[in-house]
C-alpha cells in the first residue's frame, strides 16, 4: 500500500508531509524518532501523528500501523534537500526561446536512472523537480517517477502539458500525487502559441 505520510529530516529540523499536499507540519526531533521507532517496531501510528494528519489534511489514520502509513526518510550525512533533474533533453515542441539547442532525445538508461535516484535519496533529497526537455516523453518517465515517489520524495514535474491527456499518466498522478505540476503556457491564443512553439 502507498504511504500516506512522509516524515523526514529537513535542514535543521524535521517535517511531516503528505504527498500531493502543499502544506506540511514541522515536528520535533523526538516525534521524528518516535515515528522511526514505531515503524521498525511494528507499532501503531502515535496519537499525535493521527491528530496532526486529521487536522492538517483531513486524513483518518487512526489504528493504522505506523509502517505503511508513514514513510520515514533516514537522516543523510550530506544534508541535501532539493534537486532538479533533466531526465531527457528531447521535446515535442520547438520553442524559439528554448535554451536547450538541438534538444537531443537522450537521457540515462534505466539502471543509471535508478542509481541516480538512489544517490539522491541517500543524499537527503526530499523535493525533486523532474524536468526536460519534455520529461513525460522519456521512455522511463513513469518508472522513474514511481521509483522516486516510493522513495519518499515530493515531486514537481515541469511539463509543457502536451501529454497530460494520456490516461496512464493521469492514473499515475492520481495514484501517486505530485507535489506540483508546473505547466508552461506559451501563448494567449492558438496563433501566438503555434508561432512560439513552432
Q: Which residues bind ligand SF4 (CB under 6 A)?
A: 91, 93-95, 98, 100, 132-134, 160, 184
CB closer to ligand SF4 out of 23 and 185: 185
CB closer to ligand SF4 out of 93 and 147: 93
Min dist. Cβ of residue 119 to ligand SF4 (A)? 25
CA gyration radius, the chain: 19
CA nearest to 35, candidates 59, 76, 68, 79: 68
Min dist. Cβ of residue 134 to ligand SF4 (A)? 5
Min dist. Cβ of residue 157 to ligand SF4 (A)? 13
Min dist. Cβ of residue 59 to ligand SF4 (A)? 36
CB closer to ligand SF4 out of 83 and 91: 91
CB closer to ligand SF4 out of 8 and 160: 160
CB closer to ligand SF4 out of 57 and 85: 85
Min dist. Cβ of residue 198 to ligand SF4 (A)? 8
Min dist. Cβ of residue 4 to ligand SF4 (A)? 33
CB closer to ligand SF4 out of 76 and 131: 131
- What is the rounded distance in angstroms from the CA atom of residue 7 to the CA atom of residue 112? 27
Q: Three cell numbers at 31?
A: 516525534
Amino acid at each position: 500500500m502507498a504511504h500516506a505520510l512522509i516524515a523526514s529530516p529537513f535542514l535543521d529540523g524535521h517535517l511531516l508531509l503528505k504527498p500531493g499536499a502543499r502544506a506540511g507540519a514541522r515536528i520535533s526531533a523526538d516525534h521524528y524518532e518516535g515515528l522511526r521507532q514505531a515503524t521498525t517496531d511494528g507499532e501503531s501510528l502515535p496519537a499525535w501523528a493521527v491528530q496532526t494528519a486529521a487536522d492538517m489534511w483531513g486524513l483518518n489514520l487512526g489504528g493504522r500501523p505506523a509502517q505503511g502509513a508513514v514513510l520515514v526518510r533516514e537522516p543523510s550525512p550530506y544534508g541535501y534537500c532539493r534537486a532538479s533533474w533533466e531526465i531527457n533533453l528531447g521535446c515535442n515542441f520547438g520553442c524559439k526561446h528554448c535554451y536547450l539547442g538541438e534538444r537531443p532525445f537522450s537521457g540515462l538508461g534505466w539502471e543509471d536512472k535508478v542509481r541516480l535516484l538512489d544517490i539522491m535519496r541517500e543524499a537527503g533529497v526530499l523535493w525533486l523537480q523532474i524536468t526536460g526537455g519534455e520529461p513525460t516523453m522519456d521512455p522511463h518517465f513513469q518508472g522513474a517517477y514511481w521509483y522516486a515517489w516510493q522513495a519518499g520524495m515530493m515531486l514537481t514535474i515541469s511539463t509543457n502539458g502536451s501529454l497530460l491527456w494520456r490516461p496512464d499518466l493521469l492514473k499515475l498522478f492520481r495514484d501517486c500525487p505530485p507535489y506540483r505540476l508546473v505547466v508552461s503556457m506559451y501563448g494567449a491564443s492558438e496563433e501566438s502559441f503555434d508561432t512560439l512553439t513552432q
